[in-house]
Amino acid sequence: MSRFQMLFGLALCLSVSTASDVAAQRKGFIIGFGVGPGVTTGDVDSKVGLAMDFKIGAMLGESVQLHYSGKSNLLIYGEDVVLSSLGGLGVTYQMASGFNINGTAGLATWTRADSHSSNGSAGFGLGAGVGYEFAAHWVLNLGGTWGILDDRHIINIAATISILSH
């Protein structure tokens, strides 16, 4: 069993064991996934691709989420596939109106794969965004990430629709 499968199984067990009445206050374990369009630019050729986000963590009270956050743009450069991403510690502040603001600090990566090999680079990165919960557990997010990798600045901008379980 891979580490991802074990982590996913643990997350599923925790979410089931902490499930509560829908009308109850938000608290405990959270997990979320999202997809949408994304743009990567900076010191690379600008490209439009598929944006993805993932978060797993916990609600601290009714308004603050502390989580691992992964935000990626999947791009096609000719025959190469590129994954430009940021993964790290994220914090989200949920307002009563359904809006939220979020930030992430961590490791930015740029991985390029072609039919023969893959290579990548990594460096420091930051991310920020805003979101709006338009229906129970469904969030529209608009955000951006910045990373410095091998003296190149990489910027990802994404609009995703996420489902968030808490």
What confidence score (pLDDT) does residue 26 get? 57
What confidence score (pLDDT) does residue 77 get? 86
What confidence score (pLDDT) does residue 23 get? 35
What confidence score (pLDDT) does residue 9 get? 53
Long-range contacts of 101-105 (CB under 8 A, 24+ apart): 101/128, 101/129, 101/130, 101/131, 102/69, 102/127, 102/128, 102/129, 102/130, 102/131, 102/141, 102/143, 103/127, 103/128, 103/129, 104/69, 104/71, 104/128, 104/145
Domain range list for the chain: 27-165
Beta bridge partners of 73: 51, 84
- The residue with tokens 């600045």 is 153
What confidence score (pLDDT) does residue 118 get? 77
Q: Taking the model in full, what pTM does it have?
A: 0.80
What confidence score (pLDDT) does residue 113 get? 87
pLDDT, block means (10 residues), the chain with 166 residues: 50 46 61 97 95 96 95 92 96 95 97 81 97 95 96 96 92
What is the third-level CATH fold of 27-165?
A: Porin (2.40.160)
What confidence score (pLDDT) does residue 100 get? 97
* Percentage above 70 pLDDT, the chain: 84
